[in-house]
Amino acid sequence: MGFFADYRIKRRRAKARDEANDHRQAGRLAEAAEVYERMAAEVRAHNELIYEDDCHDAVRTWLQANDPEAALRNGRSALKVIANSEWINLSKDTVEDICQMVGEFHPAGYGAAADLFAGEINAALAAHNLPPRFQTTHGKFPALCPQCGGAIPLTYTDTSVTCSFCGSVIKGESVNDALNKAATE
């Protein structure tokens, strides 16, 4: 790209960052996260590393907006772009940044989403013959409530989850039990 094209892109990104900051200061977190998503989409074809960084900003902001599904969607997008490029092998810092996203789900109260994303990161790393980064120690939960069939929420404790539809408390299967069960099947 030429000098003027670079200048326009930088100027547009600076305006978008200002817009996101204005939304954040006004408490409009979902709108701020959408700005980060828009920024990521605009740069995806030109720079995977900046794309990943914008997705990470969206993850943080969606978590603050209490929307773990949108946060997970952005984390997955960043992982997919980095895993489909050479950056997964070339940049330990970028892989570390994606892994850091997992750690941001836990304090926000979305441990199940964190564990799910951690598994996806481990799978992407394994596909590139890289060692896994996470070992999940929390209970494993079904996707649907065994009582009513409702979707299990992404928030949970280490040992149980409460169905938001029928109020049933579902006990998590320990990781060791899940591994033993899978080995015998």
Give me the pLDDT at residue 128, please: 94
Q: What is the pTM of this model?
A: 0.72
The CA distance from 110 to 156, in Å, is 7
Please state, in angstroms and rounded to a whole number, the distance separating the CA atoms of residues 85 and 124. 11
More confident: 57 or 182: 57
Question: How high is the pLDDT of residue 75?
Answer: 97
Instruction: Compare 81 and 140 and report the one with higher pLDDT.
Output: 81
Instruction: Of 101, 112, 106, give the one whose Cα is nearest residue 159.
Output: 112
Fold of 3-136: 1.25.40
pLDDT at 175: 47
Ranges of each domain in the chain: 3-136, 139-185
**Structure-model confidence comparison of residues 56 and 140, the more confident one:** 56
Specify the pLDDT at position 153: 66
At 42-76, the pLDDT tens digits run 999 889 999 999 999 999 999 999 999 999 999 99
Residue 142 CA to residue 171 CA, distance in Å, equals 10
The tokens for 104 are 């941001």
Q: pLDDT of 1-46, one tens digit each?
A: 578 778 888 899 999 999 999 999 999 999 999 999 999 999 998 8
Per-residue confidence band for 179, with pLDDT thresholds at 50, 70 and 90: very low
Q: What is the DSSP string of 124-138?
A: HHHHTT--------S
